[in-house]
């Protein structure tokens, strides 16, 4: 029987200083489990970028993670404004982040491109005025190089 | 006996009496007398510029030996986040922290953690709106001391929250007392410091009567030992609990950007700091909420007790910060009392000419008069950094006008001319004389 570890997080939208805590927790748990180091790195980066996006652009949201021996599945959902132009957003360097977070190193416009690069599959469901949901999978043993 | 403790000292044997340090001191606190440099205690702000610029390594920073930790039963290391940027190829802060434990510390409490709490407290205070704008950061001890002696109007703008170093010591000791049951006196907290100003902040604090930090160990002193321990280690303990904000405090701009507010300025390097303070004093900068000032170029990473180039360290920290949570330390409700200063920052007019205004006016006219008689070259040969400084020294009674080489030359010329004219009158009358 395959064991699945299920984790749920609420990412608060009103406190930017809490951004990044959920992905940090997932990374810690994966390390403790002794998951594949390369997969841990890719999950950590992909989920971190997604979490930061949710805080900066969408006012927070929910994260659901499922870990089994073969893969890590992440679902990040929010009720934010939605992504106006997904194709533009996927371009490296394109960012709509406000100035006050750029000083901390954010807003380089690499979030979504990085998420695509580090995951084995990524799907974006977005609706203007309703919100966005991201589905990402990272395989434990992957052929794609992150 | 010195009322002032200074962590910047002189090794007289190495001092060659060159004029490098006197020209660079931002408060004109050094003079060369009898071929050796001398620091004027009241004026020194411990910025470390003289240490940086002395070509003979005669200027030194006083800090504590690592062996000092053995005086305490329970030893806590308080590493400045600057430390993390000193290592090549480091991708995990825990390696540094575990290495510190291997050096003999029982526990490590990152100063970047308390920095995040201070950032949160500052954000709260700024939102409440009762602070005088622009608020000036108080984390750099050299800057606070500079403001205290030279910028009376700005004293009330200085943020009166304890430094991350001080807070780290307090929190760590509290937790250690609970954990070990030991009394406070047996627990030692030691700051791993990038600069001498922090040593002074411990021995002669402004914000409180007595610092909770028991000693400051220079990064340059433990670097080799620590690297050796880090290289030996195959595994690490999970010790780090800091975020982007905390680690960012080590670089110029880190403290200010943590306020999540656009209206700030971050300046580094003592010359730039002075320029900004003068503009603030003249009320030329109005639209800012916060001003971060660092005496060292680059921020704390540029401290004189670091081993790595400031900008290389900055780049490394930028990489280390990437993918950390924004902040891992949060306040539990309101700002705790132990975070606030115990007394207000008071202007200490050590640069004043006299307590009596009349006398001060007279002295000022004298200084102006003497200054006009000096060559105006600021060559430093007299041992003072500028002609004006020598004029002031003369009026204060600490120097003589013929210390100036050019004045001395004039005097010798006059004496030679007088001698030759007297000599001339002798040879004239001896024309008809006989040898005896």
Report pLDDT digits (tens) over A98-112: 888 888 888 888 999
Stretch 200-239 of chain B: residues touching chain A, C-beta under 8 Å: 238
Query: Confidence band (pLDDT; 50, 70, 90) for B284?
Result: confident
Residue B4 is predicted with a pLDDT of 73
CB contact under 8 A, B325 and A105: no
B351: in domain: no
Q: Are residues B298 and B380 in the same domain?
A: no
Q: Are residues B117 and B39 in the same domain?
A: no
* Segments forming the whole domain that contains residue B395: 357-425
Query: Confidence band (pLDDT; 50, 70, 90) for B434?
Result: low
Q: What is the mean pLDDT of residues B90-119?
A: 96
Where is the domain boundary, B339, B372, B405? B339
B260 vs A: CB within 8 A: yes
Under CATH, what is the fold of the domain A5-139? Answer: Heat Shock Protein 90 (3.30.565)
The 3-class secondary structure across chain A, one letter per residue, is: CCCCEEEEEEECCCCHHHCCHHHHHHHHHHHHHCCCHHHHHHHHHHHHHHHHHHHHHHCCEEEEEEECCCEEEEEEEECCCCCCCHHHHCCCCCCCCCHHHHCCCCCCCCHHHHHHHHCCEEEEEEECCCEEEEEEEEECCCCCCC
Q: What is the mean pLDDT of residues A48-56?
A: 94
B98: in domain: yes
User: Residues B156, B179: contact at Cβ < 8 Å?
Assistant: no
Q: What is the signed CA dihedral for B91, B94, B96, B97, rounded to 10 degrees?
A: 160
CB contact under 8 A, B328 and A24: yes
What length is written for chain B?
436
Instruction: Give B327 to chain A, closest Cα distance, Å.
Output: 5
Q: Are residues B91 and B34 in the same domain?
A: no
B324 vs A: CB within 8 A: yes
CB contact under 8 A, A101 and B260: yes
Instruction: Give B213 to chain A, closest Cα distance, Å.
Output: 28
Q: Are residues B53 and B117 in the same domain?
A: no
Instruction: Give B325 to chain A, closest Cα distance, Å.
Output: 4
Q: Are residues B220 and B324 in the same domain?
A: yes
Q: Ranked by mean pLDDT, which of B35-44, B90-99, B421-430 comes out on top? A: B90-99
B346: in domain: no
- Please state, in angstroms and as integers, the Cα–Cα distance from residue B404 to each residue in B5, B279, B381, B395, following that order: 31, 33, 7, 14
Query: Confidence band (pLDDT; 50, 70, 90) for B295?
Result: very high
CB contact under 8 A, B245 and A17: yes
CATH number, position B393: 1.10.15.40
A30 vs B: CB within 8 A: no
Q: What residue has token string 């950094």?
A: B385
Chain A CA closest to residue B263: A100
Task: Quote the percentage of chain B above a pLDDT of 70.
Answer: 97
Q: Are residues B70 and B44 in the same domain?
A: no
Q: Tokens in use for B74?
A: 């329970």
User: Residues A138, A71: contact at Cβ < 8 Å?
Assistant: yes
- Closest to B306 in 3D by CA, of B385, B196, B184: B196
Q: Are residues B70 and B55 in the same domain?
A: no
CB contact under 8 A, A103 and B257: yes
Q: What is the pLDDT of residues B380-421, one digit of tens each?
A: 999 999 999 999 999 999 999 989 999 999 999 999 999 988
Q: What is the pLDDT of residues B340-374, one digit of tens each?
A: 999 899 988 887 888 888 898 899 999 999 999 99
CB contact under 8 A, A17 and B253: no
Q: Are residues B305 and B220 in the same domain?
A: yes
Q: What is the mean pLDDT of residues B324-340?
A: 93
Question: Chain B contacts of A99, Cβ < 8 Å?
Answer: 262
Q: Are residues B310 and B408 in the same domain?
A: no
Chain B CA closest to residue A32: B238
Chain A CA closest to residue B327: A17
B256: in domain: yes
Question: Chain B contacts of A25, Cβ < 8 Å?
Answer: none
Q: Are residues B29 and B140 in the same domain?
A: no
Q: What is the pLDDT of residues A111-131, one digit of tens each?
A: 999 999 999 999 999 999 999
B110 vs A: CB within 8 A: no
Instruction: Give A69 to chain B, closest Cα distance, Å.
Output: 24
Per-domain boundaries in chain A: 5-139
CB contact under 8 A, A100 and B322: no
A vs B, Cβ pairs < 8 A, gives 53
Q: What is the mean pLDDT of residues B74-95?
A: 96
Provide the number of structural domains found in chain B. Answer: 3
Compute the mean pLDDT over every residue in chain B, rounded to the nearest whole number. 92
Q: Are residues B165 and B308 in the same domain?
A: yes
CB contact under 8 A, B330 and A23: no
A6 vs B: CB within 8 A: no
Q: Which bin fits B89, alpha (ψ -120 to 50), beta or left (φ > 0)? A: left
Question: Chain B contacts of A28, Cβ < 8 Å?
Answer: 238
| Rounded distance between C-alpha atoms, residue A109 and residue B260, angstroms | 19
Q: Are residues B273 and B212 in the same domain?
A: yes
Query: Confidence band (pLDDT; 50, 70, 90) for B196?
Result: very high
A21 vs B: CB within 8 A: yes
Where is the domain boundary, B289, B308, B339? B339
């Amino acid at each position: 029987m395959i064991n699945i570890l299920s984790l749920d997080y609420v990412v608060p939208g009103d406190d930017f200083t809490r951004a990044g805590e959920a992905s940090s927790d997932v990374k810690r748990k994966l390390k403790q489990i002794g998951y594949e180091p390369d997969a841990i790195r890719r999950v950590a980066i992909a989920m971190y970028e997604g979490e930061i996006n949710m805080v900066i652009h969408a006012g927070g949201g929910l994260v659901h993670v499922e870990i089994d021996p073969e893969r890590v599945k992440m679902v990040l959902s929010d009720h934010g404004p939605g992504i106006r132009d997904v194709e533009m957003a996927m371009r490296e360097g394109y960012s709509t982040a406000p100035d006050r977070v750029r000083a901390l190193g954010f807003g380089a416009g690499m979030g979504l491109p990085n998420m695509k690069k580090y995951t084995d599959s990524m799907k974006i469901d977005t609706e203007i005025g309703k919100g966005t949901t991201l589905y990402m999978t990272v395989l434990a043993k992957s052929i794609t190089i992150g | 006996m010195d009322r002032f403790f200074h962590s910047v000292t002189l090794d007289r044997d190495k001092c060659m009496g060159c004029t490098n340090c006197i020209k660079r001191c931002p408060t004109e606190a050094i003079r060369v007398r009898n071929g050796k440099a001398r620091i004027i205690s009241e004026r020194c702000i411990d910025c470390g510029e003289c240490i940086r610029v002395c070509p003979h390594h005669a200027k030194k920073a006083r800090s504590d030996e690592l062996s000092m930790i053995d005086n305490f039963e329970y030893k806590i290391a308080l590493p400045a986040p600057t430390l993390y940027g000193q290592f090549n190829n480091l991708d995990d802060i825990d390696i540094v922290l575990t290495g510190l434990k291997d050096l003999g510390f029982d526990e490590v409490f990152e100063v970047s953690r308390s920095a995040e709490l201070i950032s949160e407290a500052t954000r709260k205070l700024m939102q409440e709106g009762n602070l005088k704008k622009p608020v000036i950061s108080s984390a750099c001890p050299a800057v606070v001391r500079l403001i205290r002696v030279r910028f009376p109007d700005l004293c009330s703008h200085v943020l009166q929250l304890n430094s991350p170093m001080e807070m780290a010591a307090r929190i760590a000791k509290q937790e250690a007392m609970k954990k070990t049951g030991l009394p406070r006196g047996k627990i030692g907290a030691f700051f791993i410091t990038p600069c001498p100003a922090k040593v002074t902040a411990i021995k002669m604090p402004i914000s409180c009567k007595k610092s909770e930090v028991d000693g400051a160990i220079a990064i340059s002193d433990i670097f080799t030992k620590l690297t050796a321990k880090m290289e030996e280690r195959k595994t690490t303990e999970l010790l780090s609990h800091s975020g982007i904000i905390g680690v960012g405090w080590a670089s110029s701009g880190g403290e200010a950007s943590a306020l999540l507010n656009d209206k700030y300025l971050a300046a580094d390097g003592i010359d730039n700091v002075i320029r900004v303070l003068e503009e603030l004093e003249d009320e030329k900068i109005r639209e800012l909420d916060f001003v971060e000032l660092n005496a060292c170029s680059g921020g704390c990473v540029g401290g004189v007790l670091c081993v790595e180039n400031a900008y290389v360290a900055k780049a490394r920290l930028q990489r280390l910060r990437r993918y950390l949570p924004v902040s891992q330390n949060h306040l539990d409700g309101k700002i705790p009392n132990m975070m606030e200063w115990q007394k207000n920052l008071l202007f200490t007019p050590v640069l004043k000419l006299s307590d009596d205004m009349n006398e001060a006016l007279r002295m000022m006219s004298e200084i102006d008069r003497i200054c006009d008689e000096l060559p105006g070259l600021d060559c430093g040969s007299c041992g003072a950094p500028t002609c004006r400084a020598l004029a002031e020294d003369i009026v204060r009674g600490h120097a003589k006008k013929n210390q100036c080489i050019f004045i001395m030359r004039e005097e010798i010329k006059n004496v030679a001319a007088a001698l030759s004219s007297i000599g001339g009158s002798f040879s004239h009358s001896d024309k008809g004389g006989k040898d005896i």
